[in-house]
Amino acid sequence: MSPMEMAYRKLAAGTSGFGLLIALYDTLAGDLRRAAEAERNNDIEKRCREVNHALLVIAYLEDRLSYGNGGALADQLRALYQSMRRKLIEAQAKRSAKIIEEQMALVLEVRGQWQAMEFKCEPTSGPEILAPAQTQGYAVPLPVQMEHRQMSWSA
């Protein structure tokens, strides 16, 4: 398991599937924002580092798609991720912050759609609280009597 996957699994603990997906899109958008900024500042090393991480996040997202039975949405997302990968490689070759920012805008748009779906799927009321279990008919054992001894000690 890669360090990135372990970090996202930690994040996923207690988070809905939508929450994890949104966090991945946030990470991707952050990578692209920093890559575009690095390109503008002529910091090639930082740009490459940020784009490389963005490509890893895209690969992670694509790897989680259901192959075969994922339906039309999975096919569309797979095409999106492939297109983004091509555009990021093109942006590096052309040294174009604009192409990187266009991909960031696309990521934020898709992220917004996932967030809207999360809100639609959210229950309208809070978590259901169950009434206490009834104990009628059950014998509750009395605590075992323990022998009490006086203990003394000195230092």
- What percent of the chain stands above pLDDT 90? 52
Statement: residue 132 has pLDDT above 70: no
Average pLDDT over residues 40-66: 95
- Read off the pLDDT of residues 140-152 as tens digits, 9 standing for 90 and up: 444 444 444 555 5
In a domain, 75, yes or no: yes
Average pLDDT over residues 28-54: 97
Average pLDDT over residues 35-40: 98
Statement: residue 134 has pLDDT above 80: no
In a domain, 24, yes or no: yes
Give the Cα separation of 74 and 18 in Å (integer). Answer: 15
Q: CA dist 106 to 5, 23, 50, 99, 131, Å?
A: 23, 15, 17, 11, 47
In a domain, 154, yes or no: no
In a domain, 30, yes or no: yes
- pLDDT for the residue numbered 64: 86
Give the Cα separation of 39 and 99 in Å (integer). Answer: 11
Q: What is the DSSP string of 28-90?
A: HHHHHHHHHHHHHTT-HHHHHHHHHHHHHHHHHHHHTSPTTTSHHHHHHHHHHHHHHHHHHHH
The domain of 79 spans 3-121
In a domain, 153, yes or no: no
In a domain, 111, yes or no: yes
How many structural domains are present in the chain? Answer: 1
- The model scores a pTM over 0.75: no
Give the CATH number of the domain where residue 107 resides: 1.20.120.340
In a domain, 151, yes or no: no
Statement: residue 123 has pLDDT above 60: no
Statement: residue 48 has pLDDT above 80: yes
User: Residue 77 class from Cβ within 10 Å (0-12 exposed, 13-18 middle, 19+ buried)?
Assistant: middle
- pLDDT for the residue numbered 124: 47
In a domain, 149, yes or no: no
- DSSP for residue 136: T
Give the Cα separation of 100 and 136 in Å (integer). Answer: 67
